[in-house]
Structure 1
């Protein structure tokens, strides 16, 4: 059984990783390795599609921060898209939602009643 599926597509903007399954302590190393293998271009984007992530823990947060660092070092922009409300809530709670460009134009935000202050 695969706990995390990672699909890569290359767009005009840059690489897009679509993650599905569990992004946690056990699968984060696999996700970080997939990120490490990407070629990012200055001025480009790294898009992470989280729409099919069913489980997410602190290792998932750390993986997204790692993706942000890789993009920043390359002069690229990280954009998170299709963020499930529960993940959006976690990212807001730990204070990295805006840092990770989770409010990009295609992001799904948590409904107002689920947002934390």
Structure 2
């Protein structure tokens, strides 16, 4: 399966729109695209997952790594637009208590 990643990085505000499936095959591309942004000092990263149809534990690992990297550089990290299925995945793993998650695309990429 394919993944499409649209990044807008303006003045330490990175908005990311992800489309497709995030799995062992596509996660490396996601990591490769987003990790350089996460290492910017004071970056505000918002990742819109409203068009992600599937995510496995590999995808969760990418987002945990991004969250840690952004926070270690005094930035803010947020996921928006989660489907009920994705939201449940973050709830079950306990990540919803750690990462700022909003099921609505509020604040996401339009």
TMscore range, shorter length: 0.7 to 0.9
Name the structure 2 match of 1:24. Answer: 23
TM-score normalized with structure 2 length: 0.85
Q: What are the superposed Cα offsets for residues 30-88 of structure 1, whole Å, 9 maximum, x if unpaired?
A: 1110112215332x411111110011101111111011011112110111111111000
Aligned equivalents of 1:27, 1:88: Cα separation in 2: 20
Query: RMSD of the TM alignment (CA)?
Result: 1.7
TM-score normalized with structure 1 length: 0.80
Q: Is the 8 A contact 1:14 1:41 kept in 2?
A: no
The structure in which a higher percent of residues are strand is 2
**Larger Rg over CA atoms:** 1
Residue segments in structure 2 that go unaligned for 5+ positions in a row: 105-110
Larger RCO: 1 or 2 (CA < 8 Å, sep 6+): 2
After TM superposition, list the pairs within 5 Å mapping 1:80-95 onto structure 2. Answer: 80-95=79-94
Runs of 4+ in 1 over 4 A off after TM superposition: none
Residue segments in structure 1 that go unaligned for 5+ positions in a row: 110-117
